[in-house]
Structure 1
Amino acid sequence: MLRRPPAYELPRLDPLAQLRAGRLGRRIPQLLVGLVLYGWSMAMMIRSGMGLDPWDVFHQGLARYLPLSFGQVVMVVGALVLLAWIPLRQWPGVGTVANVVVIGLAADAGLALLSSPEAWWARITTMIAAVVLNGLAGAAYIGAQLGPGPRDGLMTGLAARTGRSLRTVRICLELSVLAVGFVLGGVVGVGTVVYALAIGPLVQFFLPYVAVRTASTGYELHDGQREDPG
């Protein structure tokens, strides 16, 4: 039986430390695979027609009014959010930049190849599979330790600058983009609720399996003790 590793938190690395942590031959491919699967899961959520996560409601709403595909909107918004890091004194990693490009391309590819199921059970199954895949993909690219996504970095930067908790900043920001996206015509539904409730636990569940244990950083257990990477 597969034994789940103990839950832990990854150390926070600056961009230079991310590259110096070693095992790039494992970490970069994992990052790219995670980002591709993340974009694919977004396409699955759209094709399910059951509702999207808050940021994708915003992306979809914008795509209705811009001469851009959904994936192109994801890339443009990601780039603009990345610019917002400058006054927050956040530094992007290789993974951050890759996030801006790869997820949008993968989402458009998924939308081109996937069709919308007609049966209600197939739509629900697609939505659930998309949420689970999104959790695995998110854990994979986070576990590569090559930098957070633009939107996650914005949340952590705002939390640090305002002194508010990360949870408070995340809720406020995601409710804001959700509201704007809904007004613009983005799809909100049961999938939105399922995603909001499940994505955190799913990422936390998958992370111990996929996080890369580097020679220079190891990983940190929840009790604050660092395990020897040797």
Structure 2
Amino acid sequence: MKWAGDRIAQRATRLLTGLALYGISTALLVRAGLGTDPWTVLTQGIARTTGLTLGAVVVLISAGVFLLWLPLRQRPGIGTLANAVLVGPALDQALRVLPTPQPWPYRLLFLAAGLIGTAVATGLYVGAGWGPGPRDGLMTALARRGLSIRLARTLVEASALASGWLLGGTAGIGTAVYAIGIGPLVGFFLPRLALQPNEPAKPPHDGHAPASRPDSTVDSPAP
């Protein structure tokens, strides 16, 4: 991954905002009670087995996903490490303050907000240019091998869902909506939120030195 060292303050702000939003969006999906995203299905299964909080399991899963990067030759960056250690605590904090809505319209609103928020968050922290999160690293690595962002994201989420279900995690209609919708949403937001490194200014005249002007002080030759 190429280091994006320009606009550091702007990139850091986007990175931290995206990670906080990702944790909050995951908490919204949990509180909706309609089925969480595939990775949280996996997280719930492990949490119920170990007794750990969802946020603590998120950190552990992030460390485990790094092992899947090895055959894909994906390199972590600052954003990758920040994702691994910050999303889990943000999730736990959001779960402490968010209510659990009972009426269906509010639950659907939480589901929609969590889904869209996850896509925006992904565009922010991946688009910061400091490395994708552990889970999104799988998506971007597959995309570099010819898959579209949409298809790569869908494949990664579906694999996590299957593993989570086998471990006892719960799924619902919200899980199906997430699995279908997250790929197109990330494909929409990521290109629009990504910050590209500043390109160096091009030299004038395509790299050629500018033509010298005749010196008016030079005497003309005698006739």
Q: TM-score range, shorter-chain basis?
A: 0.7 to 0.9
User: Does residue 1:199 correspond to 2:164, yes or no?
Assistant: no
AA of the residue aligned to 2:168: G
Give the match's secondary structure for 1:84.
helix
Q: What is residue 59 of structure 1 aligned with on the other side?
A: 43
Q: Cα distance 1:32–1:169, how it changes in 2: closer, same or farther (>3 A)?
A: closer
Give 1:148 shift: 1.2
What amino acid sits opposite 1:119 in the alignment?
P
Aligned-pair distance for 1:24? 0.9
Are the structure 2 counterparts of residues 88 and 199 from structure 1 closer, same or farther at C-alpha, using a change threshold of 3 Å?
Answer: closer
Unpaired segments of 5 or more residues in structure 1? 1-13, 218-230
Letter in 1 for 2:194: A
Q: Aligned runs of 1:82-97 on 2, under 5 Å?
A: 82-97=66-81
Bigger mean CA offset, 205-214 vs 110-119: 205-214
Q: Which residue identity is paired with 1:73?
A: V
Q: Distance in 1 between matches of 2:184 and 2:151?
A: 18
Match status 1:127 vs 2:104: no
TM-score by length of 2: 0.79
For 1:205, give the aligned amino acid. F
Aligned residue type for 1:99: N
The whole-number CA distance in structure 2 between the counterparts of 1:165 and 1:137 is: 21
Give structure 2 stretches of 5+ with no counterpart. 201-223
Corresponding residue number in structure 1 for 2:56: 72
Deviation at 1:102, TM superposition (A): 1.1
Offset at residue 30 of structure 1 (A):
0.5
Q: Is the 8 A contact 2:129 2:196 kept in 1?
A: no
Distance 1:203 1:171, change over 3 A: closer
Q: Secondary structure at the match of 2:58?
A: helix
CA drift at 1:47 = 0.4
CA contact (8 A) 1:64 1:184 kept: no
Q: State the Cα distance separating 1:169 from its structure 2 match.
A: 6.6
Work out whether residues 84 and 133 of structure 2, in 8 Å CA contact, stay in contact via their aligned partners in 1: yes
Q: Give the root-mean-square deviation of aligned CA atoms.
A: 2.4
Amino acid at match of 1:181: G
Aligned to 2:34: 50
Q: Determine helix, strand or coil for the equivalent of 2:49.
A: coil
| Residues 124 and 193 in structure 2, CA contact (< 8 A), matched pair in contact too | yes
Q: Alpha-carbon deviation of 1:180?
A: 2.8
Given residue 204 of structure 1, which amino acid in structure 2 is its aligned partner?
G
Contact 2:154 2:179 in 1 (8 A): no
Q: Is the 8 A contact 2:119 2:182 kept in 1?
A: yes
Displacement of 1:168 after TM fit? Answer: 7.1
**SS of equivalent residue, structure 2 residue 170:** coil
| Alpha-carbon distance in 1 for matches of 2:48, 2:17 | 29
Q: Does 78-87 or 29-38 show the bigger shift?
A: 78-87
8 Å Cα contact 2:3-2:130 kept in structure 1: yes
1:178-227 per-position Cα deviation (integer Å, ceiling 9, x unaligned): 1231233322111112112222222233335422243139xxxxxxxxxx
Name the counterpart of 2:137. Answer: 153
| CA-CA distance at 1:87 after TM superposition | 4.5
Superposition TM-score, scaled by structure 1 size: 0.77
Task: Give the distance between the partners of 2:21 and 2:28, measured in 1 at CA.
Answer: 10
Structure 1 residues 175 and 35, CA gap change in structure 2 (3 angstroms): same
Q: Report the equivalent of 2:92.
A: 108
Match of 1:215, SS state, is coil
